[in-house]
Structure 1
Amino acid sequence: SELFLGHPDLKPEVKTENLSLLLTPADWDKLKNDYITSAKGKIKSYFGNILRLEVMEKWEKEVHPEVKENLYHSSLSFDIQTIIGEHMKISEVISRSLGMKMLELCLAELHEFIPRFGEEFVAWSTARDSPIFAPYFAAYINSFHDLMSGLETVFKVNTEELQKILAALTRNFKNIFFSKLRTKAQPLLKKILTKDWTLGTERPDSLASAVSQFSVHLQHMREPVGQELLHDVHKYVVREYIMQVIKPRRKMNGETRQQVSEKMNQEARILNNMLIDQGSDSNWLLPAIHHIANIIGEKKKDKIKEYVKELCQDYPDIR
């Protein structure tokens, strides 16, 4: 009707700034708050589903992670950034301020999700001896590193607090890693200098094989974490090996000392070559066991003094 079509608000030349508000500020704020409250529950649920799928589809089924560009890969970073990006995109259609609130909400949920994820992974890995622990340990460190990078570059987020949370998670994962490594290595280390070990009933590569179950996966972990951890593994094995050798033992005759020296040199070569091949740059550790082996196997006092001198030159802190 003319009455309806002639209304001033429907005229083409109407000025939008003069139109009355469809919603009062109070109503608008209530709608935004209700929207954020609803989204909070959904995002918490989405993050929970990510964890649930990791448990059911990866950990329980012992599915090994993919390797991309020589790094163990997990979809965690991509999935989380997709959730954040999609919710921000939808929210920014309504208003830019709502988009920023959505980002803040996602980050708050992420502050809770990362520790919860870490606790679940630690609990799962502690409860069983699984061959996929070390690969996923590396994959998750890689993925959370990618997540921090994505938050900084794509979403312009200050990740300082998240980095602290990630550092704590990394420490916990490392503790489990070394606990599992010790569980595998200690029984073999304790056999050093026993009768069976001296007579050669133990394979010379048995210790190296046990260590490699963990160390071999570190070459697929992002730097510098992977390299630092491999250095720690190398240092741990050499230190523990020497500690077993220098424990007070029964006296050995010359022939036995020679056998022990040869066995130590053989195992040291296998261990060091394996760890160097896997990427260890701890060359300073290489001569340690050999020095001790040479001292044990030598009969002449003058030669023993020379070997001790060489040992002290390479490792002056042992004096």
Structure 2
Amino acid sequence: MENPSLWADYQITYINSFKALKEHMEGYRECCPTQVDHLSREVDGLVHRLVQGLEDQFKNDVRPYLRRMMTRKWLSTDEDFQQLLSRTEKLSQRCSQMRHPYVQMFVSSLHYYVVKEYVSQLMKNNYSCKNRKHDKAATKMRVQWDELNDLFEEMKTTHDWLHPVGDHLSNIIGEKNKRDIKNHLKHLVADYPDISKKHLSAVLYFRGLVRGREKQVILQCLTELKKKLGTAGNTGDKKRGLFIDMQVTIANTNCLANMPFSCLSSLLPDS
């Protein structure tokens, strides 16, 4: 694609044109309702493919930068995040020309993708904070999350339910006292009941809590909390599932050799 920006402008122009055609044809509904219904379905299908093309182009554009989140490089430089932010802002400017209701659906879909991919990097166990670097990581995550929230708010996302997850996770990562981490779980589970022990274990690994009794106590607290809140085995509203489709890479911590039962319990399904 020689000029992605120009291509995106063309796609948005086509979407707006089909929207105008659909509105114009509504004036003929009384005399030929069957034909208007058929045309409306055809137009919806065409617009869906055009919007999907825009989404795919954006995902391909930002995927390399998202994949480098939550790594040693991410902790030391803002380069990749700024690239993500810049590309999202540019698309936001173009989206302002897209007509309703397609613009809301498009923006909300992009919002979900960026949030999910950003958080998913925590699940890959690519990096574990050492020497109290978890505090620096949590601060950085909060700042970046605020920028993303502000940007998607400006774009008028309808997925405002995604906003709190960054704060919940950064609170866990930045907590100085390991024993107090469990105090941050209640709101996380209430907002995202599809989070599992595997997901939380990966977040704790990133924080630097790789193994040991304290980690197992936190994971057990999650299980008990999900039971208490009635979310055990519950993935919540499927339209609001965030963690359920996130794959978790199991880190090699050699814990089975040292703590066969407690470490193994973290790999078991949530009860």
* Bigger Rg, structure 1 or 2: 1
Segments of 4+ moved more than 3 angstroms: 154-158
* 1:284 match: 161
CA distance in 1, matches of 2:76, 2:102: 39
The letter for the 1-side match of 2:183 is E
Alignment of 1:215-230 (within 5 A): 215-230=92-107
Question: Which of 9, 34, 37 in structure 2 is aligned with 1:160?
Answer: 37
Higher helix residue share: 1
Shift of 1:241: 0.4
SS at match of 2:100: coil
Partner Cα separation in structure 2 for residue 205 and residue 226 of structure 1: 24
Within 5 Å, which residues of 2 pair with 1:164-179? 164-179=41-56
RMSD: 2.1
72, 91, 113: which one aligns with 1:214: 91
Shift in Å at residue 184 of structure 1? 1.5
Residue of structure 1 equivalent to 2:205: none
Superposed displacement of residue 154, structure 1: 5.9
Q: Find the aligned partners of 1:274 and 1:235 in 2 and give their Cα distance.
A: 13
Superimposed CA distance per residue, residues 176-228 of structure 1 (whole angstroms, 9 cap, x where no aligned partner): 11211111111111111222210125265332212223233223222221111
Mark the CA change 1:191 to 1:203 in structure 2 (over 3 Å): closer, same or farther. Answer: closer
1:273 aligned to 2:147? Answer: no
1:133 is aligned to 2:12: no
What is the CA–CA distance in structure 2 between the aligned matches of 1:295 and 1:129, rounded to whole Å? 42
**For residues 304-315 of structure 1, what are the structure 2 equivalents within 5 Å?**
304-315=181-192
Whole-angstrom distance in 1 between the partners of 2:40 and 2:119: 37
The answer (yes or no) to whether the contact 1:234–1:280 under 8 Å persists in 2 is yes
Unaligned segments of structure 2, at least 5 residues: 197-271
Given candidates 126, 141, 149, the residue that maps to 1:249 is 126
CA distance in 2, matches of 1:203, 1:248: 19
Asked if 1 retains the 8 angstrom alpha-carbon contact of 2:104 and 2:156, the reply is yes
**Partners of 1:163 and 1:128 in 2: CA distance:** 33
> CA distance change for structure 1 residues 145 and 308 in 2, over 3 Å: closer, same or farther?
same
Q: What is residue 64 of structure 2 aligned with on the other side?
A: 187
Contact 1:134 1:177 in 2 (8 A): yes
Match of 2:194 in 1: 317
Does the aligned pair in 1 maintain the 2:66–2:80 contact within 8 Å?
no
The equivalent residue for 1:143 is 17
Residue pair 1:218, 1:227 contacting (<8 A) in 2 also: no
TM-score by length of 2: 0.65
Structure with more contact order per residue of length (Cα contacts < 8 Å, sep ≥ 6): 2
Q: Which whole-Å deviations, capped at 9, do the CAs of 1:57-86 have from their partners, x for residues lacking one? A: xxxxxxxxxxxxxxxxxxxxxxxxxxxxxx
Paired-residue identity, %: 28
Q: Deviations over 1:218-260 (max 9, x none)?
A: 2322222111111111111101100012211243214321121
CA offsets 1:82-129 (integer angstroms, 9 cap, x no match): xxxxxxxxxxxxxxxxxxxxxxxxxxxxxxxxxxxxxxxxxxxxx434
User: How many residues are treated as equivalent by the alignment?
Assistant: 193
Q: Does 1:196 align with 2:73?
A: yes
Q: Distance in 1 between matches of 2:73 and 2:127?
A: 14
TM-score scaled to structure 1, two decimals? 0.56
Answer yes or no: is the 8 Å Cα contact 1:238–1:285 preserved in 2. yes
CA distance in structure 1 between the aligned counterparts of 2:2 and 2:51, rounded to whole angstroms: 16
